[in-house]
Structure 1
Amino acid sequence: MQIYEMAQYEFRGIVWVLVSLLLVLAVLLVCVVQAPAFEASGDGLRIRGTLFGRTIPAAALRLSEARVVDLRTTPALQPAWRLFGVGLPGYRAGWFRLGNKEKALVFLGRSHQALYIPTTAGYALLIAPNDPDGCLGTLRSGAA
């Protein structure tokens, strides 16, 4: 019986490609899964610290229809389908369809309390700041 080993091949190149891909994936995950910050002012709402962050001018926020909701008792406003975003246990961020089929930009953690704000741009915001009532109050007082 004769034993033959495999001819030499370039294994290091494959390893470096895999390590590079994993590193890029880890960096993207860290960038996407950061806790966002919500800056409410008379100028509008600025969402920072996430890939989906943006500034929404006060004129685009329909604050008369905005309200603080309990997502346990409001299934129509629960994120139902993820369109483009992150959906991890205890963290949802990005574009979703709500239970009522409305398109929404969502930033939710483990809290069941959320701030629902429709916009004039064809989507709603569903965010969970640490003080939803205070955030809504700041937005409304700045718009007045």
Structure 2
Amino acid sequence: MNIELAGLSSNAMANFIGLLIGLVLLTILLKVKKLPSAAFYSSLGIIIAVFALFSLTMYQSSQSRVSVSQSGAVEVNIPLYGQHFEAGEVDWQQAKVINLLEEPQYTPSRRTNGLGLTGYSLGWFTLKNGDKALVSVTTNEAVLLVPTKRGYTLLLSVENPQATMNKIAALQE
């Protein structure tokens, strides 16, 4: 069974495109500015690596999902931070779809490792309530909150909240 996660909003997509254009402009600036050969190629290598990382993240964000196998193993497929859980490590009994505007205690407040763009939070965050969370949030309105037995929570934006809850209910049977 698959739970489809929400794709990037137009705002987040514009931020990614802006970042990529900025990296291209920076590359042009490097070419125009006279630098020693070693500095030029080092800078160019870093820019290419960052460009590839952001491009990969943008592409993979449209492929994000949570897969649950027949055995109960869970695969969280999100860019850069995918996780695999054995059966029983994810607490589906406590899972719920929330609105972060109505339940602000679950809002990511401090990024410890990840990406924070307007319209897209990805990676490891500390929530306002102090809990640690693995986050892939593109919208505040339909966020799947799933506690794990590993000491952190999954916070994932979903496309269709009602269908998601129906699938979670089927898992508990």
TM normalised by structure 1 equals 0.82
What CA deviation, in whole Å up to 9, does each residue of 1:39-94 have, x standing for no partner?
33342432225110122234111111111101111110000110111101111111
Which stretches in structure 1 are left out of the alignment for 5+ residues?
1-8
1:103 corresponds in structure 2 to 132
2:141 corresponds in structure 1 to 112
Contact 1:81 1:96 in 2 (8 A): yes
Q: 2:44 aligns with which of 19, 22, 38?
A: 19
CA distance in 1, matches of 2:162, 2:108: 21
Evaluate the alpha carbon distance shift between residue 128 and residue 58 of structure 1 in structure 2; reply closer, same or farther with a 3 A threshold: farther
The number of residues matched between the two structures is 136
Report SS of the residue matched to 1:116.
strand
Deviates further, 101-110 or 27-36: 27-36
2:31 corresponds in structure 1 to none
In our comparison, the structure showing a higher alpha carbon Rg is: 1
Contact 1:40 1:139 in 2 (8 A): no
CA RMSD of aligned residues (A): 2.1
Q: 1:74 aligns with which of 68, 93, 103?
A: 103
Q: 1:39 aligns with which of 66, 69, 81?
A: 66
The residue type paired with residue 77 of structure 1 is Y
What CA deviation, in whole Å up to 9, does each residue of 1:91-127 have, x standing for no partner?
1111101111000001100342101011111001110
State percent identity of aligned pairs. 24
